Amino acid sequence: MQTTQIRLAAYPEGEPKDSDFETVTVDLPELQEGEVLLKARYLSLDPYMRGRMSRARSYAAPLEIGDVVLGQTVCEVVESTVDNRRPGDLVLAFTGWQTHAVVDARHVRRLDPEAAPPSTALGVLGMPGFTAYAGLLEIGRPAEGETVVVAAAAGPVGSAVGQIAKVKGARAVGIAGGEEKVRLLTDELGFDVALDHRSPTFADDLKAATPDGVDVYFENVAGPVGEAVLRRMNTYGRVPVCGLVANYNATSAPDSALGFPGFMNLVLTRSLTVRGFIQDEFVPTHTEDFRREMTQWVADGSVRYLEDVVDGLENAVEAFRGLLSGRNVGKLLVRLPD
């Protein structure tokens, strides 16, 4: 049995190039007792992966050159040595950018395709949805009537943030790039207002959309968009810092009109709370509530989700570039043939 893998060939400088990766086909090891043989059905592509392709100090060790690019996957069990995982079962695994893998059966979680489409385990009911849920509710703590702003709002985290804010009775203002996404935010996802950050009138649009200022800014993107929102923060505003995708491909310090001293002056004079987080922190405390509430909200239509499905392992690198430059709409998945 073989697997085709995408491995890191070089640490990318700036935007990842095709030559930063190599595709190889190798034999899988023999299945041992306690293991399962998996065939990937969906690969998850997420912005955090860019951080692992760098040696810069981060919250997790970088990939080594030659490693398979990491990531969660939805897989089908092909062969099993354990009773509670049968061939044909769909499972959530962490097998990365490859077609097949042999893993410890204890490291996969069985999915119930009757309860929800299996791909949602990588999106709204998985890590991105959990990130939105825990970061917004634990750090952002939106109160009824408050204004919540999120950028990359058409992405899997941002779209969940806005919709959970609505469930909590807050006003949701979404920011995205391009008319199509902006229309989706209000027409499909129930945001109160959606803004196109590419518009030349963005700063004025933001002001008009937040007449009472901003109470919670869920920071996904950084850059000029983030700075424009931070300037609108109210006293006692909260800023969960979840991602800084505009900076991920940067090869030198990005420009900042606000500047660090200007930012700290906002923090001080408006008594802001700025809190970085990685979703792992909240897994022990918030997983049970998340599964119960989010499953319910998806079932009753309070939280909707969008998926952007790309077919074929050979298109993963190009899709990943698109993710980092904002070309996808909804959760980006690579689907592998049955």
Please report, as ranges, the residues that interact with a copy of itself according to CB under 8 A.
51, 57-59, 219, 222, 227, 235-236, 241-244, 247, 250, 253-254, 256, 258-278, 281
CB 44 within 8 A of CB 71: yes
Between 190 and 240, whose beta carbon lies closer to a copy of itself?
Answer: 240
- What gap in Å lies between CA 105 and CA 35, rounded to an integer? 5
User: What single-letter DSSP state applies at residue 69?
Assistant: P
For residue 68 the two structure tokens come to: 């398979």
CA dist list (Å): 31 to 4, 56, 104, 205: 17, 36, 10, 58
For residue 280 the two structure tokens come to: 């792992």
Between 202 and 263, whose beta carbon lies closer to a copy of itself?
Answer: 263
Task: Name the phi and psi angles at 193, rounded to 5.
Answer: -140, 145
Q: What's the min distance (Å) between Cβ of 267 and a copy of itself?
A: 4
Residue 229, classed as helix, strand or coil, is helix
- Total Cβ atoms within 10 A of residue 280: 13
Between 115 and 250, whose beta carbon lies closer to a copy of itself?
Answer: 250
Q: What's the min distance (Å) between Cβ of 167 and a copy of itself?
A: 25
- What gap in Å lies between CA 137 and CA 5, rounded to an integer? 38
Q: What's the min distance (Å) between Cβ of 255 and a copy of itself?
A: 8
Q: What's the min distance (Å) between Cβ of 237 and a copy of itself?
A: 10
Between 66 and 236, whose beta carbon lies closer to a copy of itself?
Answer: 236
Q: What's the min distance (Å) between Cβ of 222 and a copy of itself?
A: 6
Between 63 and 125, whose beta carbon lies closer to a copy of itself?
Answer: 63
